[in-house]
Amino acid sequence: MTNVDVVEFEVADEHYALDISLAREIVEMVPITPVPRAPPHIAGIINLRGEITTVMNLSTLLGIPAAGGQERQKIIILVPEAAGGSNVGIIVDDVLSVMQISENDVEKMDDALTRDAFVKGIIKVNNKSAESSDAKNLIIWVDMQKVLEQLIGHSA
């Protein structure tokens, strides 16, 4: 049984996660410079300690409506190796936690549903604060590697 560390975050009031091995750091939202004629999922670029970093809007990438509030937004900077050597960040509404999950906590979805959905599986997490003791939170585990591979493949 393998354990994996993931970063749990929120986009449009839903909970998502990605492998922590893909995240280099989490930074507060900073002004983003738009890039003319960029695809809709590209929010723009930022200068992060002297490195130009492309920032992607994760809600647009995943095809979900964006949430209204931006006061808690963060940018998860991905490791360059995950994005073909490029500096890439993704905008999320909030970063909630880093957690370790077990394979037993992950439910695989039907391939027909996930083929184009960028989903590795659904993480079932016990929610101790819920009214019912057996209540579960469901977290969508995003296959960020698959997302990036498709984007890099389309831009090549």
pLDDT band at 133 (very low <50, low <70, confident <90, very high): very low
CATH (domain of 108): 2.40.50.180
What's the pTM value of the predicted model, to 2 decimals? 0.85
Q: pLDDT tens for residues 34-69? A: 999 999 999 999 999 999 999 999 888 888 887 766
Residue with tokens 């983003």: 32
Question: Please, what is the average pLDDT of the chain?
Answer: 85
* pLDDT at residue 136, rounded to an integer: 56
Mean pLDDT of 107-125: 76
* pLDDT (0 to 100) of residue 156: 38
Output 131 or 32, whichever has higher pLDDT.
Answer: 32
Percent of the chain at pLDDT > 90 equals 53
Number of domains the chain is built from: 1
Q: Which domain holds residue 66?
A: 3-153
